[in-house]
Chain A
């Protein structure tokens, strides 16, 4: 048996194992450590004896013993130990807990996600904790995905757990009135995780970080738990439609902008799924930012070329998005769409305020969009200036390479 089998079982079961432990012992730090030790024990023992009939029950049993051992040896926790030894569960009780209903399991996943995205934590801690506790990724995997040393990631996870402890965060569903805001936080975490993964994706499974796929998996899980939450559905559609472009967005390590992508390399199965989810959710009424962004991605996905895109439709969707969730990024995309639908001068007119603002004036995309629109008007020296400014300001290596290539092409003409 290979380590891969254990890893697959672990990824499948870790959230449920953790949930079962949290029901009993409450503290995320203790439970995660114990679950991790159980996973390591599984890797050794299953390799020798094979995977047990009920791997989840096995993991919960072993991890439970570890939590209790840990508490017993920890002098500072004597008081908690006394309370616990009274409640020491029997093996029979544990196996029963391992076979909980699908409904309970869905609840557990939601509870665990809500705990990891507790408002006492910073966004980056929420992301790291969610990947670890809900996604079952190891500290080393998360550290690699975020290009930081493993000890830094360990530090962040430890701090996040002690913050939760200090905040008195518990493994229960929040009050009904708080639920929408808490689910929105989980969604933001999934979307951030997705963006960080997708923008680094090369369409090459060997190079890609697991973040985008993990975000899709977690959002899919969340969607199945709260199917009536329109923005969860919208976010899932957005991720599917965006990541469908992963294979086409780079070529030989170079970034290929949407306008120039080979659309036959898009993942049409994912596009179909994203569109299907959107068609179900859009007519329901409340249309939030994820649904609108997904709708825009769907219009792109269904166009046979950049020029053949329904730009008027896209400008309408951006106008709605600018009302629901205004941001400089939305204005920039709106300017591109308006430029394509009604001419570059109209697009440039939208950029004025962003070029006057001292913060957005330092964003490379403000200048990249301006350059693109000026090139469309035929003002090549103006476009060149803006491309140069954009290339100087970006911190993205692939974008800088792309902008420099663009500059090279303009200089040569």
Chain B
């Protein structure tokens, strides 16, 4: 089994969850289509949970609500967020534990949606081969 983090980079305006409610790409969609996408997403999460593949996840507060700790003169220097000037910010993450890279990619693809970037990163594991 291999662990992966699925990160959702997004820029909802105003910041809010589910991010799709606050993204222009979703707002132009007919209600029916938007509801179907939301229902599909909920069904997928339920399926991952039921299979024991979803280990956890959180939706994150607005980038401006973050506090940044940088090291300066031998002590932490605290400033207000956002951390990055990039257009998109980390909006939430999911931790999954799956059989293979292929399965992780299949799941990550289903997290993708209009106006957002999904990042799939493997978690490091404590073992290794001596070959």
Contacts and interface: CB of A to CB of B under 8 A. Distances in A.
A and B: interacting chains:
yes
Interface of A: 122-124, 146-149, 152-153, 155-156, 159, 196, 199-201, 245, 249, 255-258, 261, 333, 336, 365, 394-400, 402
Given A148-B97, A149-B55, A249-B130, A155 B50 contact: yes
A258 B1 contact: no
B76 interface: no
Given A395-B125, A397-B125, A400-B124, A257 B130 contact: yes
Interface in B9-68: 49-52, 55
Contacts of A153: 52
B127 A200 contact: yes
Contact of B130 (A147, A152, A258, A400): A258
Contact of B131 (A257, A394, A395): A257
A156 B52 contact: yes
Given A159-B52, A199-B128, A336-B131, 20 more contacts: A124-B1, A146-B97, A148-B52, A148-B97, A152-B55, A153-B52, A159-B50, A159-B51, A199-B127, A199-B129, A200-B125, A258-B130, A258-B131, A395-B122, A396-B124, A396-B125, A397-B124, A398-B128, A399-B128, A399-B129
12 contacts: A124-B1, A124-B99, A146-B1, A155-B50, A196-B1, A196-B127, A255-B128, A257-B131, A258-B130, A258-B131, A395-B122, A398-B128
B126 interface: yes
Contacts of B123: 395
Contacts, number: 70
A395 B130 contact: no
* A-B residue pairs, 10 tightest by C-beta: A200-B127, A156-B52, A398-B128, A396-B128, A399-B128, A199-B127, A395-B122, A155-B52, A249-B130, A397-B124
A400 B126 CA distance: 10
B52 A123 contact: no
A122 B52 CA distance: 12
Contact of A152 (B52, B126, B127, B128): B52
B99 A123 contact: yes
A156 B50 CA distance: 8
B130 A256 contact: yes
